[in-house]
Structure 1
Amino acid sequence: MEILSVVRLLVVLLLIALMVIFISRRFAVPYTLGLVLVGLLISLFGHIEAFHLSPELVLFVFLPPLIFEGSWSISLRLLRENWVPILLLAVPGLLLELALIALPLHFFARMSWSVALLLAAILSPTDPVAVLGLFRQLRVNERLSILIEGESLFNDGVAGALYQVFLAIVLLVAQGQQVSLGAAVLRGIGVFILQAGGGILVGALCGLVVSRCVKQVNDHLIEMTMTIVTAYGVYLLADALHMSGILAVIVASLIMSNYCTEQGMSEETRLVVDDFWSMIAFLANALLFLLVGAQLNPLGLLAIGQPMYLLLAASVVVIAVLVARYVMILLLPLPFAGELRKRLHAWRFILFWSGLRGALSLALALALPTNVPHRTALIFSTYIVVLFTLLVQGFSIRPVLRRIPGLL
């Protein structure tokens, strides 16, 4: 696209985003729900402009700020106090969910195991932005909020690393290389450990170094710029080293946020940086949802591909995501005893119903290379799951919160 066309498109999208957030605030609805509705309308009834949302644009422009902001705003103290249930949700819970999503995709949607697991990894990250906005409005129990936010934070990183593992296996198979199940498992475990461990290490080192640098200055413009450089720089460094950029950004942001809160930043600077990253997250979410709407027309995809297969795959995926989430949450209280077990048991339905999918799942699906088998089905299914969870679960969660005792 020409520069003038890009600028014109950005202005139009930002105007639409402003109207969406204004209307959302008037009706006390999280803006992500408004964005997905407008994106759906654009995809069905209009086409803003011929625009190609490339994998590189999604991975290197939209992902880093979304991940950094999600980690920046979370409390490390609350994470430490609730780390056991969060860890269970984000690692074994996610792996269980991954298997339960992949099984029906393999047997009912006729996808190979590698492609089914790749789609399951794409759909594993939860996006609680809409839910947490309502939680703050209704003053929901703080511990429940941190469980949902902490799960989302860490399953983003785990799912991102698994996405890279399964994508590598899918591309090897697509190139005609024979990969046995045992070899695929061993290769996957090795790549996952390398990417996840390396990403954590890179993020920790960069976070500590930048935090010490922030301590030496007291200028909100410089400190804000340092956070931007960190968000993108850490991601690019980890990617260049073939490690998990998502985990690297999460760890760096967590270290910076909590170190700077305690030692590095003044209260005034912290407020300015918080507001800045809230704005950046809103812009990234808005542009991603609206650009997806501008480019992705579900009816157009049905016309191009095999409509019955796409609809079957999407239906199987929606049901599989809901069932997998329900089973995982049903098992969560079992390892605990006493008061925590009672709380988790009482919170089961809201933990299940708050498992919305959003921007990260869309970003990972759109970042798939063009030679991935069933790519159209993967993108279409992801879009339908995001629409379903945000519209059906997102719009119904307020009455659900009001009806369940002990949440407020």
Structure 2
Amino acid sequence: MNIPSLEGYLVLFLAIALLTIAITRRIAVPYTLGLVIIGLGLSVFGLLPNVHLTPPLVLFVFLPALLFEGAWSIRWHLVRAHWRTIFFLAGPGLLLSLGVIASILHILDGLDWGTAFLLAAILSPTDPVAVLSLFRQLHVDERLSTIIEGESLFNDGVAGSLYQTFLAVVLLTMQGHSSGGLQAWGEGVLTFLIEAGGAVALGLLVGWLMSRIVKRIDEPLMEVTLTIITAYGVYLVADQLHLSAIMAVIVAALVLGNYGRRVGLSENSRVAVDQFWSVLAFIANALIFLLVGVQLNPLALPLVPGEEMTTLLVAVFAVSVVLVARLALVLVVAARSMLTLSPRVRAMGPKQHVPRSWQLVIFWSGLRGALSLALVLALPTEIPHRSILVVSTYAVVFFTLLIQGITLRWLLKHIPSLQTPLPSAEASEEQVAETSV
């Protein structure tokens, strides 16, 4: 595509985004869901025949900006106040969901373990943009927003590393002999440890260095430019070093957005950086959700001749499996939350009780989006059952964005306790945590 055509599409998409926002605000629907519906309609009627959502566009253009803005804007004292819940959702909880999805797909659908875990990793990243937009409209408790946003940020980093791990397992198994399976799994685990651990170290180093640099500068334009260099630079460096680029950006942005903001940015610089990333994130989200809608065109599904019915059945089954895994995760969160109410556990330290109404919202807000689509489209063509993986991911993204995303508003409006604070004892603990930062 030449430059004038690219520029034309950019102007067209932004105009569509602004018109969609104007309409969705009148009907009180998140603009992101409106963009998905508009993009889907344009694609079905053949009005955008040459536009596609490509993995490089998502992974190297949109994703660094969205990850950086999300981690930059999240406040550490709120994360710290609910760090146990966030850590569980993005760590052990993610592994639990991964195991549930892979086991069901292997046992009931007959996918081999490597492919089943690969699809589970693709379906693991959550996309909270539409959810948080609804939260702001309905004034949902900020602490619940922090839990869901924090889960998504760290979830993306872990899921990205797991995707590389299981992709390596599948490729090594394809190339190996009868004993190659065990060797492939061992090398896959080692790959995960190196990618995730190295990315965290790189993100901490870059975040600290950039924080020291901005401390010596008091020029908003230069400091904004340094944040751009941080977001895209650390992503590219991590990718070249075969580390988790997603995790590296998240960690660097968390350090720069909390430590660097406090020690190195003046009030004018903070306002300038916040406004810049707010606008950039809005543009990126507008374009990416519109392109997600275009990509979800059911008339363009990559079905293999003779396997259409089997592929579609597996895709529909994948939607159910994802919901079951999310439910299992929330049930464990509920059990863990009940445990924190016991006197013995409470005596060990401040509790982090998750109210029942929050648990229901956490279950239904596990939307999937552009990252899952980018990961599945980036799969090599020689991967076994690739068409099943692609169509299954399309089905899950379609269901979670449109069905769950639209019905989530009704759910939030019928749970008035979401707007009320937690009990005063817990609130006072969080106030102490905030004042100590």
| 1:348 and 2:349 correspond | no
Q: Distance in 2 between matches of 1:292 and 1:147?
A: 25
Aligned residues of 2:315 and 2:392 also touching (Cα < 8 A): yes
Unaligned runs of 5+ in 1: none
Structure 2 residue 340 is the aligned partner of structure 1 residue 337: yes
Query: Which of 1 and 2 has greater Rg?
Result: 2
Instruction: Look up the match of 1:373.
Output: 384
Relative distance call for 1:74 and 1:341 in structure 2 (3 A) is closer
CA deviation after TM superposition for structure 1 residue 71, in Å: 0.8
> Is 1:392 equivalent to 2:403 in the alignment?
yes
1:286 counterpart letter in structure 2: A
Residue in structure 2 matched with residue 382 of structure 1 by the alignment: 393
Q: 1:395 to 1:257 in 2, by over 3 A?
A: same
| Contact map agreement 1:46 1:294 (CA 8 A) in 2 | no
Q: Structure 2: which amino acid aligns with 1:227?
A: T
Aligned CA distance change for structure 1 residues 302 and 364 (closer, same or farther; 3 Å):
closer
Task: Report the more deviating stretch, 49-58 or 271-280.
Answer: 49-58
Give the stretch that moved more between structures: 231-240 or 301-310.
301-310
More off after superposition, 184-193 vs 160-169: 184-193
Q: Report the Cα offset of residue 244 of structure 1.
A: 0.6
More displaced, 120-129 or 329-338?
Answer: 329-338
- Cα deviation, 1:258-316, whole Å, max 9, x if unaligned, reads 12331222223222222221222222223223334445532222666532122112111
Question: After superposition, what is the alpha-carbon deviation per residue over 1:142-176, rounded to whole angstroms, capped at 9, x for unaligned?
Answer: 32222111111111111011011011122223446
Percent identity over the alignment is 56
Superposition RMSD on alpha carbons, in Å? Answer: 2.1
1:280 counterpart residue number: 280
Give the whole-Å Cα distance in 2 for the aligned partners of 1:196 and 1:87.
15
- Identify the residue that residue 318 of structure 1 maps to in structure 2: 319
Which shows bigger deviation, 381-390 or 313-322?
A: 381-390
Q: Could you tell me which amino acid in structure 2 is paired with residue 166 of structure 1?
A: F
Tell me which residue corresponds to 2:301: 301
Measured at CA, do residues 12 and 369 of structure 1 come closer, stay the same or move farther in structure 2, by a change above 3 Å? farther
Asked if structure 2 preserves the Cα contact closer than 8 Å seen for 1:214 and 1:260, the reply is yes
Where do 1:209-220 residues align within 5 Å?
209-220=209-220
| CA spacing shift, 1:372–1:54, aligned 2, 3 Å | farther
**Paired positions, count:** 408
Distance 1:134 1:98, change over 3 A: same
Asked if the contact 1:30–1:130 (Cα under 8 Å) also holds between the matched residues in 2, the reply is: yes
Partner deviation per Cα, 1:176-229 (whole Å, 9 max, x = no partner): 665645333322221111110000000000011111111222222211111111
Query: 2:374 & 2:285 partners in 1: Cα distance?
Result: 10
- Is the 8 Å Cα contact of residues 211 and 263 (structure 2) preserved in structure 1? no
2:373 to 331, 353, 362: 362
Confirm or deny: 8 A CA contact 2:303 2:311 kept in the other structure: no
* Cα pair distance change 1:281/1:137, threshold 3 Å: same
| Cα separation, 2, equivalents of 1:46 and 1:356 | 27
Q: Judge which range, 47-56 or 219-228, deviates more.
A: 47-56
Q: Give the Å deviation of 1:116.
A: 1.5
| 1:102 match | 102
Residue 83 of structure 1, CA deviation: 0.9
TM-score (norm 1): 0.93
Q: TM-score, normalised by structure 2?
A: 0.87
Report the secondary structure of 2:334's partner residue: coil
